[in-house]
Amino acid sequence: MDNDDFVANRLRAKMHKHGWVVANVPCGAMAVDEIMRDTPDIVMLEVALPDADGLEMLGQIREKFPRLPVMCLSTRADIDDRIAALSRGSDDYVTKPVDIVEVVLRLSNMLWRSRTRPEGQPGKLVVGDLVIDEIAHEVTRGAERISLTPTEFALLRYLARNAGSAVTKSEILREVWASDFDRDGNIVALYISYLRRKVDQGRPPMIHTLQRVGYVLRANAGAPSAAASAKSTAETIPAAVRPGVRSQ
């Protein structure tokens, strides 16, 4: 859904070259009905729709389709706007003007990640005994509930989405802070330390530093998994646009 015909047409043309089938819904009024009629593999949602608030639309989509992947597009680059979208359940947030190649690669990565994760309870990420409820915005480890700020939640969510894989400082800055430059010099390390105090303190550590690489979130060997009592792992959102499948 994009009310900017120029951007929508460029995206459509580029994605068609990669074998994807794309449909544009220019207004929010049609969006949910269109998704219900022909559920896509991914939604690219313009935050500033002409007839609706994009974040409200995101909430409606998330309520009806908790596992449907959503990428938000917006001219709003402030961190507060990004956190608001991520908190409502957006999987990615790209600011305009967009780089078409980057958008296509991001969509491809979303598709790959979703297809390599097992099915689970909608809206939940489970890593060992750590459970992140992306819809309720709640985090528990074992039987203990953990209170996080919106930025801490977005950072932990990103680590959990890439559990077992190293993520670099640059990737974290781009995905969580929507920036390629650390203006404060150590903002990532600072928030990692905040998470460790809340998630790891008094427990076997899950957040690990990889020298000269970045960080990784790992389940502890031998630790009871939250999935053991209820088969659950995973992602709010599977799939992205795939070849031959209609998308909005």
pLDDT (tens digit per residue) in 21-51: 888 887 777 878 888 888 888 889 988 887 7
CA atoms within 13 A on the CB side of 77: 8
pLDDT number for residue 181 = 62
Q: Which of 156, 135, 6 is nearest to 63 (CA)?
A: 135
88's tokens: 């409502």
Higher pLDDT pick, 119 / 161: 161
Q: pTM of the prediction?
A: 0.52
pLDDT number for residue 144 = 94
Residue 244 lies in a domain: no
- Is the pLDDT score of 168 beyond 70? yes
* pLDDT average, residue stretch 205-216: 93
* pLDDT average, residue stretch 99-107: 83
Q: Structurally, how many domains does the chain consist of?
A: 2
* pLDDT average, residue stretch 163-183: 81
* Phi and psi angles of residue 209, each rounded to the nearest 5 degrees, phi first: -95, 130
* pLDDT average, residue stretch 103-126: 68
Residue 247 lies in a domain: no
Question: 21 with 108, same domain?
Answer: yes
Tell me the per-residue pLDDT of 48-102, one tens digit each, with 9 for 90 and over.
887 788 898 888 888 888 778 889 999 888 888 888 888 888 888 898 888 888 8
Domain of 140?
A: 124-228
Answer for the pair 171, 214: CB distance below 8 angstroms, yes or no. Answer: yes
CA atoms within 13 A on the CB side of 146: 24
Name every residue whose Cβ is closer than 8 Å to that of residue 45 and which is 6 or more positions away in sequence. 1, 54, 57, 58, 61, 70, 71, 72, 73, 90
Q: At 179, which amino acid appears?
A: S
Higher pLDDT pick, 67 / 137: 137
pLDDT number for residue 230 = 37
Question: 11 with 77, same domain?
Answer: yes
pLDDT number for residue 183 = 59
* pLDDT average, residue stretch 7-18: 79
Q: Any idea what the CATH number is for the domain that residue 176 is in? A: 1.10.10.10
Question: 77 with 131, same domain?
Answer: no
Q: Any idea what the CATH number is for the domain that residue 102 is in? A: 3.40.50.2300
